[in-house]
Structure 1
Amino acid sequence: MGRQGGGAGAGPDRAVVGRTRGGVGRAAVAARGRGGHRGGCGARAVTGGSSSSQAWGHRRGTSRDVVAGLSVALLIIPQSMAYAELAGLPSVHGLYASAVPLLAAGLLAYCPYLQTGPVALTALLTHGALVTIAVPGSSEYVGAAALLALVVGLTRLVIGFIAAGKVTYLMSQPVLRGFTSGASILILLSQFPSTLGMAGASESGLVGRTLQVLGSPGSWSLAAAVLTVLTVAATLLARRIHVLFPGALVAVIGGVLFAVLFDYGGPVVGEIPGSFPPFSLVLPWEFLPQLVVPGAVIAFVGFAESTAIARSFATQDRVTWNPDREFVSQGAANVASGLFGGMPVDGSFSRSSLNHLSGAQSRWSGAVTGLAVLVFLPFAGVLSSLPRAVLAGIVIAAVAGLVKPRLLVSVWRLSRIQALVVWFTLTMCLLLAPRIEQALLLGILVSLAIHVWRERRAGFHSRVEGDVLHLEVIGILWFASAPRLEEAIMARLARANDVSEVVIHLEGLGRIDLTGALVLKRVVEELGGSGIPATLTGVPPQARELIDNVFGMFPHKSL
């Protein structure tokens, strides 16, 4: 029976038509899961069959989206509350960021599996951006978080609309690995106060609070520590039991029951307004100049994770995906989060994987998740007794796997220069906390500087055939390497006294910029002035127009 899976995408859909046997279409590609075809990130599988068969397949796909969306909702509710606390916000604002923003993302998303919402790294960046301009938890802080989400959203919308989504590829893996590892360590350290029942630690700064907590063992709460350990265990063990088992939700329910039944005296979430997200344009606009750079950093760094998620699923389904479309959908989600009292949001790998494995068929699964959170909000007050130690356990379970000591060591064996980039970025994260976006920018600058340094030379080989000197240029001929190449060529010519002609081979060049072309012209002119004719050969196709324009009417042989 033909089955149809709905996928979201811009541009033409990808059709897959199989052989027909007895008038019934059969797809030529194997479906993931039990029956039905998933369209992948922006693609759609279309099969033959009767209209009733297709309608049945559509209903089947819709039901799978509902199941997947509700499954993710069971995870995002506790996670979003935990990440809001990590960002320095009342936990309800994590729920706000998981409701309307997901509806907005669902309308525009390209990849059907990508689940949006609060994530740990973005929460830490949010805290770093806001902690210097407002008191965490205050109304000013809450408003600044919404304004920051608006900045992130508008930045992503602009990038998506001008089709510059691939700009995220400029961030090298060593920089991202170092930054992610450093941020993960900071996130784990930030959970010490809640883990040990000292959420009211007075020291400012992450290091100061951590030292204060570790130096005050008499103030530790055994109950809080046990709750954190049990939450981590429940969350991790749930993954082994079944991918759909809501370990975090079980931990939350257990934590609330424990707090109520045993009169838990440690820090709890506190009062949660039982209402829908409030729409507001009344934001602390005076903070806007201070949030532009952090907002841009979050827009790019957070999207790097969304990019990795979408590309991973696209590779699995053997389809293409559109980063510009995802920039737009993620931008719309952040704008919605800013307008409805939320915080910056991004794609979540854990929730997207759960969405995929739960049988999601289209982008509407994310909208179902947002709708489920929206329905839950009026009843969120039941979680007011939830110990913060439980939220700390949820964060620890989510982030612990991101710290990979073996990887940090093994990169040294792969490339020592790139290992320095990793460790430099990681170290800067720890030293510059909470303003870790500065560490990322420094890591990018160091990475670019190393790239420029390594590409500053264009190599060349020379050989003499009779009285003709052949020079083979290799690499990239650009402003950083062209002057050194000119010096090397002229030095080689000075040693070739019996040469009557020079042939410069350019087949080995990957790119030539204007400075490189001008240097080539100058070399040819100087040789011509010395009575030695020079020929350029093998000019790369992408550089022919540039070379022709630079040389102009200067007489030289065919390129």
Structure 2
Amino acid sequence: GRAVWAIGHPTSWEVASIGLTAVTVLLVLGGRAIHFLVPGVLLAAAGGIVFSSLTGYAGAAVGDIPAGLPRLTLDLPWHRLPVLLLPGAVIALVGFAEAASIARVFASEDRQRWDANREFLGQGAANLAAAIAGGFPVGGSFTRSSVNRLSGGRSRWSGLVTGFSVLLFLPFAGVLAPLPTAVLAGIVIAAISTLFRPRELLRLWRLSRPQAFVGWGTFAFTLLLAPHIEQAVLLGVVMATAVHLWRQLRPGLVARREGDTLYLEPSGVLWFGSAPAMEDALFARLDDEPDVRRVVLKCSGLSRIDITGAYSLAEMLDHVHRAGLEMEIEGVPEHARRILEAVGVGTPKPPAS
């Protein structure tokens, strides 16, 4: 990614831009440390405009901003809808994933309830409005949401006031033309600095290596693929799905012996992916206990049993009976009893109340 290339080529660095970014970060964080009402972001932006205008700053700047209001219309290129279905679904997935992540973090910090359904409805309505106005896809982000929170926003009023402020400022948008983008970068860095928590990633490595693999992998992809964060999020989703499937392929099995009876307690999900592993574990345990005469399979630890898992249990029951052993299936979840009866397992005992 461009970020990795830039770090590896210090000769391409612009000292003035780096200095502006550093001063902006110090100004924003320093103002927040003094008092939360100190407008560090506003001071940094105003200072950047003054500096650029007085010194003739040659670095990248915001540039001209079109003034005026967009024209509302439903005259959209409907013939391109089939081509946009898949990209639109990806944008919706990534947009919601990023907004949901930041919303959950802030809701947890404020001890508020977060409703994913309302979040999704709000994003959908905002994107419909953006389409009619000819705008880009709309969604919350780590940077924009963090800037809003850094400025003291805690409710929906902050978004409403910001929107009206932007409308009122449109005739004067040209004032922002000389604002260096390095200042904007500093504002973003200061805003998201509180969200970067390396201790949590290190703690995750100690608690769960598979989950740490997902977290560190997504973090690495975000840096490597910048600024295409949507690709990093999609790869993170793929890694999380792969880890989930890997775990589901390995159901747990606890065994204990009482006399000539072997009690087996599987846990997890019994589906077409984990059924072979369950059969192998059961028969391997029977090979280790040649003098067992009775087998009791307690299924209360299984959260779900699909039709393939039910057929697998039926085959296990048949094989055990052919070996001359008794076998009972107990504690079957209510949702799976009908399926087991349909595949010929009989009437398994329900979980003990």
TM bucket (normalised to shorter chain) is: 0.7 to 0.9
2:100 to 304, 311, 321: 304
**Contact 1:310–1:321, Cα closer than 8 Å, also in 2:** no
Q: Which has the higher contact order (CA 8 A, sep 6+)?
A: 1
Distance in 1, Cα, partners of 2:235 & 2:243: 12
Partner of 1:355: 153
- Tell me the distance in 1 between the aligned counterparts of 2:137 and 2:84: 15
Residue 246 of structure 1: aligned partner: 39
Query: Once the 2 structures are TM-superposed, how far is the Cα of residue 331 of structure 1 from its aligned partner?
Result: 1.7
Backbone CA RMSD of aligned residues: 3.3
> Which among 249, 270, 278 is matched to residue 477 of structure 1?
270
CA contact (8 A) 1:232 1:393 kept: yes
Asked whether the equivalents of residues 535 and 556 of structure 1 are also in contact (C-alpha less than 8 Å), the reply is no
Tell whether the 8 Å contact from 1:307 to 1:323 is kept in structure 2 after alignment. Answer: no
| Range 241-250 or range 528-537, more displaced | 528-537
Using the TM superposition, give the Cα deviation of residue 306 of structure 1 relative to its aligned residue in structure 2, in angstroms.
Answer: 4.6
Letter in 1 for 2:278: L
Judged with a 3 Å threshold, the aligned counterparts in structure 2 of structure 1 residues 480 and 458 are, in CA distance, closer, same or farther, namely farther
Counterpart residue number, 1:316: 111
Where does 1:186-225 land on structure 2 (aligned, <5 Å)? Answer: 205-208=2-5, 214-216=10-12, 220=14, 222=16, 224-225=17-18
Distance (whole Å) between structure 2 residues aligned to residue 471 and residue 221 of structure 1? 67
Q: Deviations over 1:177-207 (max 9, x none)?
A: xxxxxxxxx7xxxxxxxxxxxxxxxxxx554
1:534–1:556 contact (8 Å) kept in structure 2: no
Alpha carbons 1:463, 1:469 under 8 Å: kept? yes
From 93, 111, 119, the counterpart of 1:326: 119
Structure 2 counterpart SS, 1:252: helix
Q: Which runs of 5+ in 2 are unaligned?
A: none
State the distance in 1 between where 2:322 and 2:165 align. 79
Give me the whole-angstrom Cα distance separating, in 1, the residues matched to 2:133 and 2:28.
30
Please, which of 161, 167, 170 is the counterpart of residue 374 of structure 1? 167
Task: Identify the residue that residue 340 of structure 1 maps to in structure 2.
Answer: 133
Alignment of 1:331-480 (within 5 A): 331-347=124-140, 348-352=145-149, 354-356=152-154, 360=155, 363-455=156-248, 456-465=250-259, 467-480=260-273
* TM-score under structure 1 length normalisation: 0.53
What is the count of residue pairs matched by the alignment? 341
Q: In 1, Cα distance between the equivalents of 2:348 and 2:22?
A: 76
Q: How far is the alpha carbon of 1:240 from its aligned partner?
A: 1.6
Q: Which deviations, in whole Å up to 9, do the C-alpha atoms of 1:257-281 show, x marking residues without a partner?
A: 3333444444432222332244455
Q: Which deviates further from its counterpart, 491-500 or 321-330? A: 491-500
Identical residues among aligned pairs (%)? 42
Once residues 282 and 526 of structure 1 are traced to their aligned partners in structure 2, the CA distance between those partners, rounded to angstroms, is 63
Following superposition, which runs of at least 4 residues in structure 1 exceed 6 angstroms of deviation? none
Distance in 2 separating the partners of 1:472 and 1:226: 63
**C-alpha displacement of 1:431:** 3.8
Distance 1:336 1:550 in 2: 52
Deviation at 1:308, TM superposition (A): 0.9
Structure 1 position 244, deviation (Å): 2.7
Measure, in 1, the Cα distance between the counterparts of 2:337 and 2:85.
45
Asked if 2 retains the 8 angstrom alpha-carbon contact of 1:227 and 1:390, the reply is: yes
**Alpha-carbon distance in 1 for matches of 2:162, 2:325:** 74
Name the CA distance, whole Å, in 1 between partners of 2:52 and 2:281: 76
Equivalent pair of 1:309/1:349 in contact (CA under 8 Å): no
Other structure's SS at 2:300 match:
strand
What corresponds to 2:84 in structure 1? 288
Distance 1:542 1:452 in 2: 22
Distance 1:261 1:434 in 2: 31
Aligned CA distance change for structure 1 residues 316 and 458 (closer, same or farther; 3 Å): closer
5+ residue gaps in structure 1? Answer: 1-185, 187-204
Q: Which residue of 2 aligns with 1:507?
A: 300
CA distance in 2, matches of 1:438, 1:260: 38
- Give the counterpart letter for 2:153 in structure 1: N
CA distance in 2, matches of 1:253, 1:557: 74
Q: 1:325 to 1:420 in 2, by over 3 A?
A: closer
Distance verdict in 2 for CA 1:225–1:283, change over 3 Å:
farther
Measured against aligned partners, the alpha-carbon deviations of 1:463-517 in whole angstroms (never above 9, x if no partner) come to 133x444333334323233222222323433455554443222233333222222
Pair 345,409 (structure 1): closer, same or farther in 2 beyond 3 Å: same
Change (3 A) 1:289 1:216: same
1:550 to 323, 327, 343: 343
Give the match's secondary structure for 1:504: strand
TM-score, L = length of structure 2: 0.80
- State whether structure 2 residue 315 is matched by structure 1 residue 522: yes
Cα distance in 2, alignment partners of residues 532 and 211 from structure 1: 68
Q: What secondary structure is seen at the aligned counterpart in 1 of 2:258?
A: strand
Contact 1:458 1:482 in 2 (8 A): no
Residues 264 and 476 (structure 1 numbering): CA distance in 2 closer, same or farther, change over 3 Å? closer
Residue 63 of structure 2 aligns to a residue whose secondary structure is coil
Deviation at 1:329, TM superposition (A): 0.8
Q: What is the one-letter code of the residue matched to 2:104?
A: A
- Give 1:201's aligned residue: none
How far off is 1:368 after superposition?
2.9
- Deviation larger for 526-535 or 366-375: 526-535
In 2, Cα distance between equivalents of 1:324 and 1:540? 29
Q: Is residue 330 of structure 2 the alignment partner of residue 532 of structure 1?
A: no
Which digits, 9 at most, give the CA deviation of each residue in 1:402-437, with x for residues without a partner?
Answer: 444444444333333333333333333344445443
- Residue 526 of structure 1, CA deviation: 2.6
SS in 2 for 1:343: coil
